[in-house]
Each structure stands twice: as structure tokens, then as C-alpha cells.
Homo-oligomer: A and B are copies of this chain.
């Protein structure tokens, strides 16, 4: 993100580097809390506000995307060179599975066109029980 940072007069700091590095080293859909914990295990003096601020920058830069699942917390996932995709979310073990489906996207475009809508982003989430959680 250094180019993006330089272009708008932002500064590279130890904290930002650490947060960004931690974020991209981790996998999955991290809540700010989870990320903060990982970050603080490397430098306990980093504050939550800095993590919030840094993730907002990453998100504005298009390098991370914010997701709002139904648990009331914002989660971020890496967005570098990734296709758009949607999510299956297990309501029992909270596992998140990603999927892509070209046909669904096409049908969404069709629906939007039909309503004269210009879609900029969409969200498709399927909530339920994953294979492992169905037997209890």
C-alpha cells in the first residue's frame, strides 16, 4: 500500500506496518477485536483506535473489504486480486465458507437491470449449519 499511502500524504508508521503485516499474514474474516489481539501480541502498546483507523485506510485503498455479517461486528478480509465472492456462514461453529457462482451474478444483474438499477456492490450470505454441525 506504500504507493497509495504516498499519493495522499499519508505516512508509513511502525504501527501501520505491523497491523497491515499481521492482517495479511492471518487468514479468514477477522473482526477488529481478533486483529487487535494478534497485533497486541506483537506490540502490546498498540491501541484499538489505530487498528480501526488503519483498516479503514486499507479498505478505502481497496486492499481489504469490510463485511457485516449478522453478528454485529465488522470483519475484514484481504481483497488483493480477489474475485468477488459470497459466503456460507455456519450459525453453530461460525465457520465461513466462500463461494463464487457466475450464474447467480448474472441473474442479479438481470434483476437490477429490470429495475433500472445500477449496482455497485452486492451481498449474498447463506446462513445455516455446515456439514460438521448438522449431526450436532
Contacts and interface: CB of A to CB of B under 8 A. Distances in A.
Contacts of A101: 107, 111
Interface of A: 68, 70, 88, 90-91, 97, 99, 101, 103-104, 107-108, 111-112, 115-131, 134
B122 A127 contact: yes
Contacts of A111: 88, 99, 101, 104, 126
A40 B118 CA distance: 37
Contacts of A129: 117-118, 120
Nearest to A66: B70
Given A104-B108, A107-B104, A99 B115 contact: yes
A36 to B, nearest CB: 20
A105 to B, nearest CB: 10
A68 to B, nearest CB: 6
Q: Which of A104, A116, A126, A129 counts the most chain B CB atoms within 10 A?
A: A126
16 contacts: A88-B112, A88-B117, A99-B111, A101-B107, A115-B131, A116-B131, A118-B128, A118-B129, A118-B134, A119-B126, A119-B127, A119-B128, A122-B124, A122-B125, A122-B126, A122-B127
Contacts of A130: 115-117
